Amino acid sequence: MSRIPPSFSEYGAGGDAVGTRRARHAFRWCVLLCATFTAVLWFSERFLRYEHAERLYLSALTKPPEQARVFLRQAVLYDEKQREFPTPKYQQALAEREEADLVLPAYEKARARDPGNAALAIRYGCRLFAAGEPVEAQARFQEAGKNAPNNALPAYLEAAVLPWVGEDNSDLRQSLALIARTNSSGKSITFPRPLWSSDLPQSGYWYTHLRRRIVLECSEPFYEFVGHVVATAEEQFEQKQTQNWDSWLEHLETMGRRITADALPQESSGPAGQAASGASIQACTGLYIQISALRERERVNEIELGRPDTKLIERRLQLESTLAELTAFENGRLERIDADRERHRLPIRLCGYALAVLFACVIVSHLAAKAVHASGPSTTLPHSSLGKAAFGIGPGVLLLMLCLCVLIHPESAGGAWARIVTTGWWLVLVVMAWFGLAYPALTLPSVSDVCRDQQGDNRAELLQHARRERRAAWVALARRYYGIVAGLTVCVVCVWVILYRVFVSLYPWQTELLATGLEVEEIEIVRRVLSALY
């Protein structure tokens, strides 16, 4: 007759197996519900909030050109099938990102759909000029001037391409006369803005990046024109021909001064400073024009008067110093932007570390439970107050650190903030993982204590059975601890993602929109430069 093995209530015998199974299933469903809600929230905003063409358009706005054009081509095709009059912005966005040999046809198609768009005409004209078609570029700039009568930029760009329109590109009189008329018109200079969406923030790296690309693109004709003017002037100065050049160069200098002075429009005074994106590039363009004109005016004075004009030299040196300051700011942009981008990427990496470590512990503990047959009564052990406190403290500290990663600016910790946060995060993870091993030992009574009141003839067999039951209870308790902590960490990450979306209006993985574009710093330096010059 087989003997009935002794039972140990301290190791789970006689526990509520049904109740613990229900509680375990309920917890798993809560974790799954939390993760599902977060995924559905993102999916609905990403795929269900907009119609198909608009969704493709929004996806393209935040991607590099080589990726964006794939989405935009689909958006254009879908929009053409769905509407009798297709939406112009999809074709325009495609033209701005199209391959080099397809850019001009794409722009022409966009212009046909939106002929009154001055910003489109300006960008189309710049691309035409870059492609070696100055006559068409001039026509587009004239068209932009008619559609935006209060903007001086189209007239200046037209003047910049005029030398290449006629057969004799050494005749600059027509260009400089148009510049002189535009200088006296009193119109402001406004560069085009990127195609964007009101649902995306007009701040951050990516919007600033697009805006700066536009300013650079529209500045290229000025650099070409100034280089041509300087080369023509030098040729005539070699022959001691300086007639009219001082006044011509003064017109050119005035154009550069107006471009620099209008680098900060009035609307950039707002807190976001969206209009200031690209202001430093515009200011550099204007300063380059002024410096080039002043150098040639100095040559005129040397030829005509036999001596340099000290006022012109002082003015040029001041402008060169200012240009050097802006250039230093431009050279340090990418490093500061990369640091801020890493600040936004850090919480995502930390979440990945935490989930990888904790789920690795879950898998190892599950395999250990299989090896020692830790099932049945051992799974019904109730958690102690120490374990319940650990369930709240560990994930709570992780949530707090995630919030600190968002609030702490990288420069506030002297550049060491990432190492401090990462070290603290790993320290918390190590403590949580180590506690999973120590928790059963702190909770379960020893074998000798359990067997003290047990009756039996074979004491050795009793102790052996108690050790086996305690080992099973130890592994089961550790597995349940790791499972609960891992599930709570999943919930913490989901809660953090949702809170981030609510308060920041973006998801934490949208780093290109979250990373700074240095708009505030750009406003400050350009404003300081303008106040010192004018």
User: For residue 346, what pLDDT band results from cuts at 50, 70 and 90?
Assistant: confident
The residue whose two tokens read 């535009």 is 182
Q: What is the pLDDT of residue 340?
A: 85
The dihedral sign for the CA sequence 25, 28, 30, 35? negative
Percentage of the chain with pLDDT > 70?
88
Q: Which residues contact 365 (CB under 8 A, 6 or more apart)?
A: 436, 475, 478, 479, 482, 483
Q: How far apart are CA 70 and CA 93, in angstroms?
A: 11
Residue 148 pLDDT > 50, yes or no?
yes
User: For residue 381, what pLDDT band results from cuts at 50, 70 and 90?
Assistant: confident
Q: How far apart are CA 515 and CA 258, in angstroms?
A: 31
Q: How far apart are CA 387 and CA 438, in angstroms?
A: 10
| DSSP string computed for 324-393 | HHHHHHHHTHHHHHHHHHHHHHHHHHHHHHHHHHHHHHHHHHHHHHHHHT--GGGGGPPPPHHHHHHHHH
For residue 188, the cross-strand partners are: 151
Q: What is the pLDDT of residue 488?
A: 94
Structure tokens at 287: 């300063």
Q: How far apart are CA 58 and CA 265, in angstroms?
A: 27
Closest residue by Cα to residue 400 from 508, 492, 486, 481 = 492
The residue whose two tokens read 């609030």 is 407
Q: How far apart are CA 8 and CA 378, in angstroms?
A: 10
Q: What is the pLDDT of residue 1?
A: 41
Lowest mean pLDDT, pick from 127-136, 310-319, 368-377, 511-520:
368-377
pLDDT tens digits, one per residue of 160-175: 999 998 776 677 888 9
The dihedral sign for the CA sequence 155, 161, 165, 168? positive
Query: The pTM is what?
Result: 0.84
pLDDT tens digits, one per residue of 82-125: 888 888 899 999 999 988 889 999 999 999 998 889 999 999 99
Q: How far apart are CA 478 and CA 459, in angstroms?
A: 28
Q: 81-89: list long-range contacts, CB under 8 Å, 24+ apart.
A: 82/53, 86/113, 87/53, 88/113, 88/114, 88/117, 89/57, 89/195
Average pLDDT, the chain: 85
Average pLDDT over residues 485-513: 92
User: Regarding predicted confidence, which is higher, 130 or 462?
Assistant: 130
User: Regarding predicted confidence, which is higher, 455 or 236?
Assistant: 236
pLDDT tens digits, one per residue of 164-218: 987 766 778 889 999 999 999 888 999 999 989 888 888 888 999 999 999 999 9
Residue 356 pLDDT > 90, yes or no?
yes
User: For residue 413, what pLDDT band results from cuts at 50, 70 and 90?
Assistant: very low
Q: Please write down the HEC assignment for all residues of 481-523.
A: HHHHHHHHHHHHHHHHHHHHHHHHCCCCCCHHHHCCCCHHHHH
pLDDT tens digits, one per residue of 438-497: 888 887 776 666 676 666 556 666 667 667 777 777 888 888 899 999 999 999 999 999
Average pLDDT over residues 429-434: 92
Please work out, in degrees rounded to the nearest 5, the angle formed at the alpha carbon of residue 349 by the alpha carbons of 484 and 333. 155
Q: What is the pLDDT of residue 377?
A: 63
DSSP code of residue 48: I
Closest residue by Cα to residue 383 from 492, 458, 482, 456 = 482
Q: What is the pLDDT of residue 369?
A: 78
Lowest mean pLDDT, pick from 129-138, 167-176, 268-277, 402-411:
268-277
Q: What is the pLDDT of residue 439?
A: 84
Residue 410 pLDDT > 80, yes or no?
no
For 251, counting Cβ atoms within 10 Å of its Cβ (0-12 exposed, 13-18 middle, 19+ buried), the class is buried
Q: What is the pLDDT of residue 359?
A: 92
Residue 332 pLDDT > 70, yes or no?
yes
